[in-house]
Chain A
Amino acid sequence: MSTQYSKYDSVAFENFSKKILNELTQDESLTMTLSAEETLFSRISKARVRQITNVAQASIDYVYIKGNKTLSFTLPYKAFEEDVDLALKKLKISREWIEKLPDDPYLVRPAFYGITKEENLNALPSNDEMLSGVLDYASHVDLAGMFASGDIVRATINSAGQFHWFKTRNFYLDYSLYNNKQKAVKSLFAGSTWDALALRENIKDSELKLSLMDRDSKIIERGSYRVFLAPSAVAELLGTLSWGGVSMGDHQRGNGSLKSLWEKTKHLSPKFNLTEDFSLGMSPRFNDRGEVAASSMPIIENGLLKNFLTSTRTSNEYKVETNFATDWEGMRSPVIKSGSLARENILKELGTGLYLSDLHYLNWSDRETARLTGMTRYACFWVEKGEIICPIQDLRFDESFYSIFGDALVDLTNYSEIIPNTGSYSQRDVGGSKVPGILLSEFKFTL
């Protein structure tokens, strides 16, 4: 197997696109958005291969407009001649379908948003070499997780002449280590250059953390506790915020979860600053329409709402300004500003309470009051007078965002972690977040 073989290149895609775009008549327009990947996925359990899968796949979303009407379709992109026939056939059907559809009052027409090409294609060792590197080194531990490596493409081209191309080559080992009490620690080793030494350091570090989990777990009674949430736990909270928390459309339609912040009847801590910041370089700045977002945009500044993510469609409907968000209006590259808590002072400042490395299965329990529920997971400890005492039995929390990033926020760490998205529903995700840890004066556990 070879990572360097690449089916999907920008010239072939551009040439293919032009064959379709050239078929359009004067009152028609089209946007074509490509998602492609060539990935090796290796599912690992007990540091051995459970399933190994090589995937080459690509599809194109087409948004077709005629007059004031629109419809969309998705087709596979095979990088073979037959793609053209398939697309033209579908275009013909779309012309028939669209005739009888009503006008779209919030139509977003394609425009020229420039031409950009970004390729981060570092040479990586072969998949064999990287995967064997992981499995040989980890053979003495119970490691479960996923090793993925390969190329990802996002591109968009439209009939107004714009063309954006983003291609990245990277890998990740998303894993957890287990002891014989079914206790675990979680880690992620990811990048676009391979460093075998760093991989070993990462696993060794996890082993060290796992040794702390050998002590018997303490059952913690329900109630409010002082807690420290590590960056990976904070990233989970942030992920939930993308479900209706920062979307202008959702707030306009009554499904938003930061309504009180929007209406200025509540505010968050002045220490809390949230930005959509593409300088992380993990996500393309262009969206499916090819609109290019600002390289950095504040969402929440000093605890006050600055901008909800707003797509051009939402902008057309509610007469508010667009900031070129995706139609989903979720965050693609969020960054929470760090604070002043130094790593060596975390336990001391926590005093007596809970150190939580990860959270799991979060959901809004009451959107209106921005209340979230979820579970603690992996390395979570009971801490007394600044000292780790023992792991805990997992707890359910149910707490408001206004408390977590508001009244209860004591401090944020002075360091942050970059956490790439490792999701792979249908295709491998791009994007990620950069977040510090947070110290809270109280956090409510209900079960």
Chain B
Amino acid sequence: MVNLKNLLNSLNTEADYISLRSVHHHSVSVGVRNEILEGVSSSEDNGLMIEVMIDGQIAYGATNSFELSEVKRCAEVARQSALMAKRFGLFPLTHQERPKVIGEYKSPASRGMDHFKPSEITDLLISLTGQMKIHDHIISRTANFSLIETHSHYVASNGSDVHQKIIRSTISLSATAASDKGTQRRTFGDEQSAQSGLERIDRAVLLKASQKIADEALALLEAPECPTETMDLLLAPDQMFLQIHESIGHPLELDRILGDERNYAGWSFVKPSDFGTLHYGSKLMNVTFDPTVVGQNASYFADDIGAIATREYLIKDGLLERGLGSLESQKRLNLPGVSSQRATSWNRPPIDRMANVNLEPGHSTMAEMLSTIERGVFMQTTRSWSIDDYRNKFQFGCEHAQLIENGKLTTIVKNPNYRGITAPFWNQLKMVGDKSTYQIGGLTNCGKGEPNQVIHVGHASPACLFSKIEVFGGGK
């Protein structure tokens, strides 16, 4: 292991501030389809990001070598870039945006890479796809496992020193059913990435989930199309996660509001003056930025510029209070934010991201919510998603749905979709499920930024009821 502090001290780079951030990823993944091992792969990635500040201008240099000569070359390249870019700087940074921070973080996972045995996981995945083999119509059965350890170390000329060791794992399953009536797919686990290791594997639970998705895929083949009408919409947590992600998380990113992201993912309908004034949703809506939830996918101690992570309300009783932006964006906008300037790895500069963005539970049980619905539909598990560059007009498709008639779940329907516009949609939030309906999830694939970065985020949500939503089915 390279001593990063010594490396920093031996650089002698002339700058007002310099930091080194090393990131070491070690991951394994195993995939099985139709009881056949498709692949066991492991990956190691190790590199260093050097950050140099001169006269308020920051520039970065990234290298995957820790040889002193190469690190020195890289630091010099970054220094030259800072000098060059100074003339074109968008805004000057100060030492305030690079606070001194010392600390460490460790995921609560107990069994990481050292305990991984490829043959054990392969056997498990083979039995899971075998469990889905309930009918000839189940033509594709997959089970995938991944385990990722990320160890980052951040040191800076201001004395900062932060170690963070994060272990994440996911197991995801899918069953595809096909007949002359069409094709239907059910999945499990894609949105349940968490900071846990091999200890989370519960064979009995996974076997049950395998059976369930195979049964449901088969049943969907026989189901009628989801009707096209405006009705009450009850969403399960495994769809709420992406609804929160796309229509709360992204529009509240301060760098989007500032326009940094305009050329790629887009801008935001939220304006700086909306903080403290905009009724984002109904009074039942409470959303937190919470990197302190034990074991949730995007919990951490500090972001990649040294801001310590704390729990904050983004939306309280429906009112927009705070955006997702760290010290740089907060300074530019003179608005409160959170600790969220994160990089996907050593090879990218940190930008404003989500971490765990959670919709807090309310007070209604599932039975209470159902009982208020005369005609509606209950949708589960994201299948398709799309939203505009201002984060207004969205359309989501789900894998599974069931009609609700006079307070009761009735017919299963296939190809369910719904569409809406962000703020009106959240203002139609009519009931929020209680703790018994609440689930904690995590996504692995939030894409953003130029150069592009993909990052882990967390979302948690109860089941939620929205009134009068446009719902429709598939087919031409």
Residues of A within 8 A of B (CB): 1, 39-43, 45-59, 70-80, 86, 90, 97, 100-102, 104-106, 128, 131-132, 135, 144-146, 148, 174-176, 178, 182, 184, 186, 253-255, 259, 360-369, 371, 373-375, 377, 394-396, 398, 400, 402-403, 423-426, 428, 446-447
Contact A57 B64 (CB under 8 A): yes
Contact status A57-B63, CB under 8 Å:
yes
What is the 8 Å Cβ interface bit string for chain B, positions 34-51, against chain A (1 contact, 0 not)?
Answer: 001101111111110000
- Chain B residues 378 to 392 lying within 8 A of chain A, measured CB to CB, are 384-390
Is the Cβ of A366 less than 8 Å from the Cβ of B415?
yes
Q: Are B64 and A71 in contact (CB under 8 A)?
A: no
**Does B334 lie at the interface of the complex (its beta carbon under 8 Å from any beta carbon of A)?**
no
Query: Smallest CB-CB separation from B82: which chain A residue?
Result: A52
Q: With contacts A45-B258, A144-B263, A176-B262 known, is A56 near B63, CB below 8 A?
A: yes
Q: Which residues of A contact B199 (CB under 8 A)?
A: none
Of the A-B pairs whose beta carbons lie under 8 Å apart in the complex, a sample of 29, sorted by A's number, is A1-B81, A47-B88, A51-B60, A52-B60, A53-B451, A54-B61, A55-B451, A56-B64, A57-B62, A59-B45, A72-B40, A74-B42, A102-B122, A146-B451, A186-B263, A253-B139, A254-B140, A259-B183, A360-B266, A362-B386, A365-B395, A366-B415, A368-B474, A369-B475, A375-B388, A375-B393, A377-B388, A396-B395, A447-B395
Given the known interface contacts A71-B39, A423-B452, the answer about A80 and B67 at a Cβ–Cβ threshold of 8 Å is yes
Q: Are B419 and A368 in contact, CB atoms less than 8 angstroms apart?
A: no
Cβ 8 A contact of B64, one of A39, A78, A144: A78
Q: Which chain A positions have C-beta within 8 A of B371?
A: none
Decide if the interface of chain A is mainly helix, strand, loop or mixed.
strand
Which of B62, B122, B183 touches A56 (beta carbons < 8 Å)? B62
Does the CB pair B81–A52 fall under 8 Å?
yes
Closest CB in chain B relative to A378 CB, distance in Å: 9
Known: A53-B348, A100-B119, A447-B419. A368 touches B263 (CB 8 A): no
Select one of A57, A184, A424, A446 contacting B452, CB under 8 A. A424
Contact A105 B36 (CB under 8 A): yes
Query: Is A424 within 8 A of B451, CB to CB?
Result: yes
The 8 A CB mask of B416-450 against A (1 = contact, 0 = none) is 01010100000000000000000000000001011
Q: Are the C-beta atoms of B267 and A363 separated by less than 8 Å? A: no
Report the minimal beta-carbon distance from B274 to chain A, rounded to whole angstroms.
Answer: 15
Q: Which residues of A lie under 8 Å from residue B395 when comparing CB positions? A: 365, 373, 396, 398, 446-447
Interface residues in chain B, defined as those with a beta carbon under 8 Å from any beta carbon in chain A = 33, 36-37, 39-47, 57-65, 67, 70, 74, 77-78, 80-82, 84-85, 87-90, 118-119, 122, 126, 139-140, 176-178, 182-183, 185, 258-260, 262-264, 266-267, 347-349, 351, 384-390, 393, 395, 397, 415, 417, 419, 421, 447, 449-454, 474-476
Interchain nearest-CB distance for B384 vs A (Å): 5
CA distance A365 to B474 in the complex (A): 7
* C-alpha gap A130/B317 in the complex (Å): 50
Chain B residues with CB under 8 Å of A40's CB are 81
Inter-chain contacts of A174 with B (CB < 8 A): 263, 450
6 tightest Cβ-Cβ pairs between the two chains A and B: A366-B474, A100-B119, A146-B450, A74-B43, A145-B263, A424-B451
| Least CB distance, B33 to chain A, in whole angstroms | 8
A72 near B385: Cβ-Cβ < 8 Å: no
Give the complex CA separation of A55 and B260 in angstroms: 20
B65, B176, B385, B390: residue with the most chain A Cβ atoms closer than 10 Å: B65
Assess whether B476 is in contact with A255, with CB atoms less than 8 Å apart. no
- Extra pairs beyond A1-B84, A45-B260, A394-B388 (10, CB < 8 Å): A54-B60, A57-B63, A57-B64, A72-B41, A76-B47, A360-B388, A375-B386, A396-B388, A425-B452, A446-B419
Residues of A within 8 Å of B258, CB to CB, are: 45
Question: A373 near B452 (CB under 8 angstroms)?
Answer: no
Please name the residue on chain A nearest to B117 by beta carbon: A100
Known: A72-B39, A254-B185, A255-B140. A394 touches B393 (CB 8 A): yes
Given A146-B450, A254-B183, A371-B474, the answer on whether A49 and B88 have CB atoms closer than 8 Å is yes
The CA of A423 and the CA of B36, in the complex, are separated in Å by 33
In the complex the two chains form, what is the Cα distance from A39 to B451 in whole Å?
10
Chain B residues positioned under 8 Å from A253 (CB to CB):
33, 139-140, 176
What is the bound-complex CA distance between A86 and B24, given in angstroms? 14
B390 contacts which chain A residues (CB < 8 A)? 394
A residues near B36, Cβ cutoff 8 Å: 102, 104-106
Q: Name A55's contact: one of B126, B347, B449 (CB within 8 Å).
A: B347
**Alpha-carbon gap, A79 to B69, bound state (A):** 13
In the complex, what residues of B have CB within 8 A of residue A128's CB? 84
